[in-house]
Amino acid sequence: MKDNVKYPFFKKLLAKHSEDEEQEDVETSLQAFIDDVRQISELVRNDVKLYAPLRQCSKLEEITSTSAFWKVKFCLQKFLSLKACWQDEALAIWCRILPEIRKDIPEIDFVASLGSNKTSNNEYVISEQRFRQILCSPNIDIFLSEILSCIRRLHGNVNVVSLLDYIFLWCRDNDGYAFGSKGIYQVRQTANFIWSESFFSSRSK
């Protein structure tokens, strides 16, 4: 299935890994990656032996000791250069969230859904203040708790690939990437900017 949602982190990463390839080849690699993410997500969400232990986890070190985490890591490492600690942290967060997802909705950007969806009381899923709190989470465990809360507010209906993409962006920046190799702040490449662009763009429609 062709996926029309933008994936800023993964598209740039796969393009970097395929610098000598044509644009069409990069798009093909991205789609193959998206398909694998959806496949492993469905596998974890439908196998009680994989998702039940995840539901008992509240901290990263607990998640990384589950078979589900390692199944996901081994599946996706052929696409991703999983050498940095923050990349394993991002995968662990995503794994913990998978059991809470009721339905994968490919056509909807995850952060945009936080900005545009409304509750039965005609209120937005999260306020601007809550959105900023999520971005400014002081550590990984609190960020995980915040994202889990968002998933529940969306009734478990999210784009699993978009969710993983945004988690990777946040974990990357909290490892210091936003300042680049020369210490220059690259605002448009930051998780804060990319998350905010999707969130507020969805509210302006």
String of b and e for 136-145 (b: at least 16 CB within 10 Å)?
A: ebeebeebbe
CA distance 178 to 185: 6
136-185: pLDDT as tens digits? 999 999 999 999 999 999 999 999 999 999 999 999 888 755 444 445 45
Residues 6+ apart with CB under 8 A from 200: 115
Give per-residue pLDDT as tens, 96-134: 999 999 999 999 899 999 988 666 676 788 999 999 999
Which secondary-structure segment (H or E) carries 114? helix 110-116
DSSP 3-state assignment of 18?
coil
Cβ neighbours of residue 72 closer than 8 Å, sequence gap 6 or more? 40, 44, 91, 94, 95
Element (H, E) at 33: helix 23-46
User: Per residue in 20-60, pLDDT tens?
Assistant: 555 556 677 778 889 999 999 999 999 999 999 999 998 99
Spatial CB neighbours of 178, under 8 Å, sequence gap ≥ 6? 185, 186, 189, 190, 191, 192
Let me know: does 54 contact 66? Beta carbons within 8 Å. Answer: yes
